[in-house]
Structure 1
Amino acid sequence: MPERRGNPGRRETQAAVTELLAPLSADPDTARAADEIHLRLQELGAADRHLLAAVAQVPLADETAARALGRHLVGKGTSTSAVAVGLGLLARLGEPEDVPRLEVLGLLHGFARPVVETLDALDRPSAALVWLGQYAEGRELRQLVDALAARDDRSARARLLAIPLDPRTVGPSASRRIAEAVRLADILRKDPVAPAVLAQAGRLLFRMTSQQDYQAEILAYPEAVLAYEALVTRASQLPPSLPHYATLLSLALDLSSGPSVLLDWRPGQREGLLDTLESVLTSSDWSAVLAAEPPADPAECHRARWLQRTARQPFARRPAAARLQIEATVRDPTDPATVETRLLLDGRPLVPEAFGLGPANSPEELLHTGRLRATAEPREVQLAEAYCTEGCCGALYVTICREGEHVVWRDWRRPAVPPSRRPLPELPVYRFDAAAYDAEIARAENDHSWAWPARNTARLISAGLRKRPSLLTQWDARRGWIGTDFTDPDVTVLSFTYWPGLAAGQRDEDGPWLQFLWRLPDNGSPPEDQAAAALHRLATADPKTYAEVRGGSPAYAEALGFPWPEHRSR
Structure 2
Amino acid sequence: MSSADERNALDFAPAPDSLIAQAQRLLREYPDGPPRPSWHPFPEPPGPDDPESLQDDGSGRTLIQQGTTRQTVLRGLELLEGKAVPSDVPMLKLIGLLGFASVQAAGLLRTIPGAAHDLIWLAEHAPFGRSRIVEHLLSNTDAVVRDWVLSTPHHLMQGELARKIAERCQISRKLAGLAVEPRLWDQAGNLLVAMASTRTYRCEIRRYEQATADYWHWITLAARMPASLDRAALLTMVGQDVTTGPAAPIIEDDATRMLAAINAVQYDREVARAEQDHGWEWPARTAARLIHARIRAEPSLFGQWDCRLSGCTSWPSDVDSVRLSFMYPAERPPFEDPRVRFGFVIGVDGRDPQAVAQEFVASLGSQDPKLSAEIIGGRRDEAERLGLRYRKPSRWMY
Higher strand content, 1 or 2: 1
Higher relative contact order (CA 8 A, sep 6+): 2
Alignment TM-score, normalising by the size of structure 2: 0.49
Alignment TM-score, normalising by the size of structure 1: 0.36
